[in-house]
Amino acid sequence: MHKILVSRCLLGHRVRYDGGAHGPFDPLQQWQAEGRVVAVCPEVAGGLGTPRPPAEIPGGQGGQVLDGLRPVLTDNGEDVTAAFCDGARQALALVQAHGIRMAVLKARSPSCGNREAYDGSFSGVKVAGEGVTAALLRRAGVEVFNEQELDAAAQRLARLDLEG
């Protein structure tokens, strides 16, 4: 049975920057009941509190953060890059420890977004990009889905189960 890395906020855990949560979503609850879910909030794992100031990546590219080219900044200018990178490394360690090949992470998050990110202006402008954790996991070969892609994630999980 394949395990899945899942953002804690999507499981209803109140770990979002504003102290809120998303979900829980039905497929995620089912996978959790089956013992498949390994839950993580990279930002909390990296040492940031809840609630915490919102953070964005100038340009929205988590890979550039990993490569030391861009910071992760809060809306008041505090550099939280180290916490985001540490949380990403902890998520990768969980993936490696559990043999995880896919993840369902929070869309548009500066940690977890897999398709788009905010541009760093704190004005709600989105760009094609990904968060720091999503970028690190993708580089390690993990398929990353978001909560709007649960059907595709379920199909991928079924294929993984068939492969053994």
Q: What per-residue confidence (pLDDT) applies to 22?
A: 85
- pLDDT confidence bin for 127, thresholds 50/70/90: very high
Higher pLDDT, 6 or 26: 6
- pLDDT confidence bin for 164, thresholds 50/70/90: confident
Q: What per-residue confidence (pLDDT) applies to 121?
A: 96
Question: Percent of the chain, pLDDT > 70?
Answer: 100
What is the C-alpha to C-alpha distance for residues 147 and 131, in angstroms, rounded to an integer? 15
Q: What per-residue confidence (pLDDT) applies to 21?
A: 87
Q: What per-residue confidence (pLDDT) applies to 124?
A: 95
Q: What per-residue confidence (pLDDT) applies to 28?
A: 94
Question: Percent of the chain, pLDDT > 90?
Answer: 94
- pLDDT confidence bin for 1, thresholds 50/70/90: confident
Q: What per-residue confidence (pLDDT) applies to 88?
A: 98
pLDDT single digits (tens) 39-98:
999 999 999 999 999 999 999 999 999 999 999 999 999 999 999 999 999 999 999 999
3-state DSSP of the chain: CCCEEEEHHHHCCCCCCCCCCCCCCHHHHHHHHCCCEEEECHHHHCCCCCCCCCEECCCCEHHHHHCCCCCCEECCCCECHHHHHHHHHHHHHHHHHHCCCEEEECCECCCCCCCEEECCCCCCCEEECECHHHHHHHHCCCEEEEHHHHHHHHHHHHHHHHHC
